[in-house]
Amino acid sequence: MSKEMKVPTVGESISEVTVGQWFKKDGDTVQLDEILCELESDKATFEFPAEATGILRIKAQEGDTVEIGGLICVIEDAYSPAASTPIAATSSPAPIAKASASGEVKEMIVPTVGESITEVTLANWIKKDGDFVTLDEIIAEVDSDKATFELPAEATGILRHVAKEGDVLEIGGLICKIEVTEGAPAATPASASGTSAPATASSVASSATYASGHASPAASKILSEKGIAPAAVAGSGKDGRITKEDAMTAQKPAAAAQAAASAPKSAESALAPVIPGSRNVRREKMSSLRKTVSRRLVAVKNETAMLTTFNEVNMKPIMDLRSKFKDQFKEKHGVGLGFMSFFTKAVCVALKEWPAVNAQIDGNEIVYNDFCDISVAVSAPKGLVVPVIRNAESMTFDQIEKEIVRLAGKARDNKLSIEEMTGGTFTLTNGGIFGSMMSTPIINAPQSAILGMHNIVERPMAVNGEVKILPMMYLALSYDHRIIDGRESVSFLVRVKQLLEDPTRLLFGV
């Protein structure tokens, strides 16, 4: 029985396609989901996979224009008597020998990863097309606009890629297929011609996967800061992946080794010398996270009446408290005493007194929150993320510090869940750690306000008629004027300033 393969529907306005390039020849044996050719429309190029296993018979040649639904090729049944001879003569080896194929094909679709997420981007394949995978083994990583997720195999068998790295897939879209087998792949017997050594080398080479030499996001950032190429680091993680610990212990090669490595390239360098001031340009595809952040920030600017009010805070009282108690604090609680716990506690007290700053607009209604879920902006390897400290108003200083450390660590490793980044009522962002003296932060919708912290600079200040050198910080409160009036925003910021300049107030709630 033969399978007729026709041009699929590839878009609403597309009525015809052109056959680009055939990757298989007429009469070749093809496998299910193996890419046969490329189809070109007026908008994009598509890969055309085989819909069955068998002998390929090409009907449309390269350059032919075929309407949607038109015949492109036919795949004859590989097990028919007529086709048995060509198959026996075919020398193409199967990607992996199977112990026992069940005949079932498991289609894996993009799972639901969050209420507001409608699409994801396939970041990378950890397993290659044709690899043998086991149930629950991680085969790929997908990026949403909020987090990165690992995709586990839903069956044991041979993996067949459908989507490519960088493809944007809707929730429920087909990402790959697994040809289910009932056991591990059988070993390939050695050839009778005495080529066992090359075969062994080939099997060792084929055991490497995409993960071999691939750095995790956290490791990639560390290696980039050190100026070390991932190829120069031996990975100790799963399938040879470079872990954060590998990156932290990695060292630059010695100068002599670098000179020796560059010596063979001297002739090539002479042919293509590096010209100072060259005008090279490179393009990178925007990640889903970056596109979503861009879209939301522009929407906030266009849809809110955003204003910013400023004040300054004398940080000396807090710095004196930290110097006095930081060692005892860390010894007792196992975590350092930072500035963020003071700011979080001060903000929670002020939000209780000025509830409009902790509210949000929902249609024609204002939603007031009697709790304080404080979002903290964190710079992660793939972009800005904002994890949430739940019920911060009821937490102690050490609980807040521990939660910040936990969330920041997960952000750096791209392990934050959707639940950990949704539902905040107010946001803190600290541009001071990068040296910012003053800025106007943009509101994190649907919240109504955000507090920007900046760097601490010693400045001469007038205190009771005397000039003193004090560590000062500028604070910036951006707020939505549709819901927060000027009196409320200024009073809120003054209250935060009062609590920070006399932190003992936080202990007594005054």
CB-based contacts of 390, cutoff 8 Å, min separation 6: 373, 423
Distance of CA 265 to the CA centre of its chain: 36
Distance of CA 347 to the CA centre of its chain: 30
Conformation bin of residue 54: beta by default, left when phi > 0, alpha when psi is -120 to 50: left
The pLDDT of residue 368 is above 80: yes
Gap between the Cα atoms of 368 and 361, Å rounded:
9
Strands 426-430 and 374-376: parallel
| pLDDT digits 0-9 by tens, 1-26 | 688 889 888 766 677 888 888 888 88
Select the more confidently predicted residue: 88 or 225: 225
Token pair listed for 217: 């996001």
Residue 181 near residue 140 (C-beta atoms within 8 A):
no
| pLDDT digits 0-9 by tens, 284-303 | 877 766 777 788 888 888 88
Residue 373 near residue 388 (C-beta atoms within 8 A):
yes
In the chain, how long is the greatest CA-to-CA distance?
A: 105
Question: What is the model's pLDDT at position 98?
Answer: 42
Question: What is the model's pLDDT at position 94?
Answer: 45
The pLDDT of residue 118 is above 70: yes
Scored b (16 or more CB within 10 A) or e, 67-97 reads eeeeebbbbbbbeeeebeeeeeeeeeeebbe
Question: 278-287 long-range CB contacts below 8 Å, 24 or more apart?
Answer: 285/166, 287/121, 287/143, 287/382, 287/383
199-213, 395-409, 427-441: segment of lowest average pLDDT: 199-213
What's the whole-model pTM score? 0.53
| pLDDT digits 0-9 by tens, 185-241 | 655 444 444 444 444 444 434 444 545 666 665 666 677 677 777 777 777 765 566
Amino acid at 121: T
The pLDDT of residue 184 is above 80: no
Token pair listed for 213: 């030499």
DSSP 189: P
Q: Taking residues 432-452, what's their average pLDDT?
A: 90
Residue 5 near residue 68 (C-beta atoms within 8 A):
no
Question: What is the model's pLDDT at position 223?
Answer: 75
Residue 482 near residue 303 (C-beta atoms within 8 A):
no
362 is catalytic: no
Residue 340 near residue 428 (C-beta atoms within 8 A):
yes
Residue whose tokens read 């861009």 = 294
Give the helix ranges, DSSP H, for 118-206. 196-206
Which of 96-100, 131-135, 443-447, 487-491 is modeled with the greatest confidence? 487-491
Residue whose tokens read 């390039």 = 21
Q: Which domains does the chain have, with CATH numbers?
A: 1-92 (2.40.50.100), 98-183 (2.40.50.100), 300-508 (3.30.559.10)
Is the torsion defined by CA of 233, 236, 242, 245 positive or negative?
A: negative
Amino acid at 389: I
DSSP string, 416-452: --SGGGS--SEEEEEGGGGT-S---PPP-TT-SEEEE
- The pLDDT-based confidence of 93 (bands split at 50, 70, 90) is very low
- The pLDDT-based confidence of 116 (bands split at 50, 70, 90) is low
DSSP 242: B
SS3 47: strand
Gap between the Cα atoms of 287 and 284, Å rounded:
9
Mean pLDDT, all residues of the chain: 80
Instruction: Check 136, 167, 485, 502 and give the catalytic one.
Output: 485
The pLDDT of residue 439 is above 70: yes
33-47, 93-107, 347-361: segment of lowest average pLDDT: 93-107
Instruction: Check 64, 136, 167, 481 and give the catalytic one.
Output: 481
Which of 21-25, 117-121, 357-361 is modeled with the greatest confidence? 357-361
Gap between the Cα atoms of 199 and 85, Å rounded:
27
pLDDT > 70: what percent of the chain?
78
Question: What is the model's pLDDT at position 473?
Answer: 95
Strands 45-49 and 35-40: antiparallel
Q: Taking residues 139-163, what's their average pLDDT?
A: 84
Question: What is the model's pLDDT at position 185?
Answer: 62
Is the torsion defined by CA of 32, 33, 35, 39 positive or negative?
A: positive
Which of 251-265, 274-288, 483-497 is modeled with the greatest confidence? 483-497
Question: What is the model's pLDDT at position 9?
Answer: 81
Question: What is the model's pLDDT at position 302?
Answer: 86
The pLDDT of residue 255 is above 80: no
The pLDDT of residue 85 is above 80: no
Gap between the Cα atoms of 309 and 481, Å rounded:
11
Question: What is the model's pLDDT at position 346?
Answer: 95
- The pLDDT-based confidence of 279 (bands split at 50, 70, 90) is confident
Select the more confidently predicted residue: 225 or 279: 279
Question: What is the model's pLDDT at position 417?
Answer: 82
Gap between the Cα atoms of 6 and 39, Å rounded:
11
| pLDDT digits 0-9 by tens, 448-505 | 999 999 999 999 999 889 999 999 999 999 999 999 999 999 999 999 999 999 998 8
- The pLDDT-based confidence of 310 (bands split at 50, 70, 90) is very high
DSSP string, 192-234: TTS-HHHHHHHHHHHT--TTTTPBPHHHHHHHHHHT--GGGS-
Q: Taking residues 47-51, what's their average pLDDT?
A: 86
pLDDT > 90: what percent of the chain?
30
